[in-house]
Amino acid sequence: MYINLSGLNILITGASRGIGKALATKLAEAGATIAVHYNKNVREAENLCHIIGNESRPFQADLSKPEEAGKLFERVVLEMGSVEVLINNAGVATPVGIMSSEDDWTKAWNETMQVNLTSAAVLCKKAVEHFLKKKSSGRIINISSRAAFKGERADYMAYAASKAGLVALTKSIASAYGKDGVKAFVVAPGFVRTDMARDFIDKYGEEATQNDVSLERMTEPKDLAPLVTFIASGMADHSTGATFDINAGSYMRSD
């Protein structure tokens, strides 16, 4: 199947490495121009834009700060003219034990919610407004997690809760604005071999991830890219509001 995304501007948050980098690379191969969002990895973002081409550009924003998400979207539209697809991929997973002080626990909770949910919600709001003003179709793809449905270990409760909120947000957008041409989707990976997963593995061991899947290897960022490219193409529009699970068959395990 040939997918041509030429003429589409796609904003991907957290695109300088990991899942975001894999998505940017695959989407650009299909012809899209990518707005590569990064926080601190400026060299990686600039290098990625050079490699993937298509007049892709880097955009910096610290999504842990309340005002940054909206400004990011506005800059992308100003410099690129439009956004046809928004992919909320940036995320943090800050572990904090239940026996931590209330101040420390609340700080980690708020920081996680700000990046994973609130900034993503602001970007969704900006995207929907943009699509409606243009009177054209647009797509939002939110990268959630299996943890949104299964839950997570006690010290990652904030992460699981933030990803569950992202699912509800996506379904609400799909329901409310579908007739206006706005489609919204969730992609929910299990463990993916990224720096974020490495922190978890370092704490709980490799078996904590390997024993949880039904395939021969842990999911890698590149495994998400073909599906996201397909969704971005519009060929999955009648799945708006749906969640696509990519977790190496971990839901099928009975032991």
> Which positions are catalytic?
159
Element (H, E) at 57: strand 57-60
Element (H, E) at 131: helix 119-134
Task: Please give the Cα distance from 177 to 131 (Å, whole number).
Answer: 10
What count of other Cβ atoms lies within 10 Å of the Cβ of residue 168?
Answer: 13
**Residues shown for the chain:** 255
Give the 3-state secondary structure of residue 69.
helix
Task: Please give the Cα distance from 146 to 253 (Å, whole number).
Answer: 14
- Residue 220 burial by CB count (10 A; 0-12/13-18/19+): exposed, middle or buried? middle
The answer to whether the beta carbons of residues 248 and 214 sit under 8 Å apart is yes
Nearest to 10 by CA among 83, 62, 73: 83
- Residue 43 burial by CB count (10 A; 0-12/13-18/19+): exposed, middle or buried? exposed
Q: Tokens 């980690």 identify what position?
A: 108
Q: Tokens 């909206």 identify what position?
A: 70
